[in-house]
Structure 1
């Protein structure tokens, strides 16, 4: 670890030691703020913004300070019983500018173009949807030098785009993430790892351009341009790389997943060729590895998913309340 990176991490850790949690709600419930940008602007570095379930968007946000932003997840209507409410925390596009190093966003339903232009940003368990909206990392911006960006456990309806111009992206991690397309620019320099990812669906592609990524334990249904990356223990519907280093080519993708709707469709089917096909005998795909995909992007915090109590009781009589809670590490 470089001295600069160590200093940055220690700075973020020290600010979070005295962090405040701010409630954000625009559904008629009293809270500290009603928009994400207002909450960001008022918060101190290291504070946590808790976006509560709502049918209305909290709007977009430009981050210029390190914050933790937590929502309840997404696809909650398709995966019943995971949260007490099936509503998500919808936001507009997110922009991570200089000063936002150390930001963590988790469990959001992002419906807008999102761009990372700062190092040490972690985007986890978020859904990116909306027509033509993408998750971009140093994409279409020249002269950036980013390191330590992490994307984990996300569902990206369109593209994950990385690099452009003379920008450098190093120590990048994209793990346990679904996207229709992964695009790495042919210009610039990108290094890091991409593991336990899935690119399937209409028009799915993976263009690794000139990147020097290590790609492992992933599943690709569609066109893949291998570029300068290294491939280990992946499944391909075509044959972009030799069937060596544990890679399987010309795989019948109808045998890989259980199918269905939402994110549960990417669970491996019985007898799937992805079972045990990863490095060290782990499964390929979203639901394996050190940080497996969590259905509905449940953030890694405890959650109350059930609340039961009588509507009334006699005065002086204890009120029996039953709570159902779980951790979502």
Structure 2
């Protein structure tokens, strides 16, 4: 009898059995690959959400196409396969991403976590306590679609190419955390929030603006030195009321120029660094925007300049950025099969699984 096994299924079999023994919640699967069906398998993320109960886990399995959009009104754990899998080594054997076009968090979705997902945009509609970790996020994202404030939104170890904005200065999100992200867009309108160990690869003047009573520490900033930008200071105290700025480094392109955006003197801040000496590539911003290229070289001026002698940037600190956004669950790194079997010739399968932190 011939056996046909979907590689998409096999890529998570070990992961599922491990998690079933750990969690009491129902595990639901998003899989839109041809021929995959069964109990608790859904072809869209919204269908998986609608069938789920608070506390359930949804695995968004690798696919060549998106699972659509999600209006989230439940407390869920949504786990994907990561991103940049073809560009980085030692990752899942299935190199396809887990894609969701967009996620809007609504009332009822508090304490939801999303990890390992590629998405175009996120929206936060009057909801708090959301964790976005190890995700690839594009386009502009708004934390509030109305004038109500949001709070306790966490972005950790994400690759972000779009903007993340609060609703307005008068209704800014509070107690939010941005840590160990690589960020290519602008962030503004936050209060009582923390921005630590991020690598800001953007070269515009809106990298961080309109922050109130917040902390900016251990970050790397890129400055594109140009005369037209000189008067638009990134860290003007007028637009950062009560904010503490320490142990950051701002580096310039082109090399040898003076930074247009200036960090406050003292408090361990470093101005006018040489951007071309920071990372594995002299300017990773202009080379395909792949996360691995933002790793620090051994001689990087960002080494040891963070609080307590830690490295500045996304790969520094106690919980550094994880390449490809690999989720904190076991992953299948290798799979081989003889492809067929019968009563006299068993099907031969070899699976290698690695734990992730």
Q: TM-score range by the shorter chain?
A: 0.7 to 0.9
RMSD: 2.2
Give the TM-score, by structure 2 length: 0.79
Separation (CA, whole Å) in 2 of partners of 1:184 and 1:161 = 5
Aligned to 2:248: 234
Q: How many positions carry a matched residue from both structures?
A: 306
Cα deviation 1:194-249 (Å, max 9, x = unaligned): 11111114547423214221011111113623422211111113352223111101
Write the deviation string for residues 122-165 of structure 1: whole angstroms up to 9, x where unpaired. Answer: 00111012xxx223323x53122x33211101111121223425
**Residues 1-329 of structure 1: pairs in structure 2 closer than 5 A:** 18-28=24-34, 29-31=36-38, 32-115=41-124, 117-129=126-138, 133-138=139-144, 141-144=146-149, 146-164=150-168, 166-185=170-189, 190-203=191-204, 205-222=206-223, 224-226=234-236, 227-228=240-241, 229-237=243-251, 238=259, 239-259=261-281, 261=288, 262-312=290-340, 315-316=343-344, 321-329=349-357
Compared CA separation, residues 117 and 77, structure 1 to 2 (3 A):
farther
In the aligned structure 1, how far is the partner of 2:342 from the partner of 2:102?
49
2:9 — aligned with what? Answer: none
Deviation at 1:168, TM superposition (A): 4.6
Q: Distance in 1 between matches of 2:319 and 2:165?
A: 22
Gaps of 5+ in 2: 1-21, 224-232, 252-258
More displaced stretch, 29-38 vs 274-283: 29-38
Q: 1:22 to 1:175 in 2, by over 3 A?
A: same
**Separation in 1 of the partners of 2:207 and 2:69?**
28
- Do the aligned partners of residues 122 and 294 (structure 1) sit closer, same or farther apart at CA in structure 2, a change above 3 Å counting? same
Highest RCO, 1 vs 2 (Cα 8 Å, sep ≥ 6): 2
210 and 24 in structure 1: CA distance in 2 versus 1, 3 angstrom threshold: closer
Q: Which moved more, 1:189-198 or 1:166-175?
A: 166-175
Q: Please say which structure displays the higher CA radius of gyration.
A: 2
State the alpha-carbon separation in 2 of the partners of residues 135 and 179 from structure 1.
13
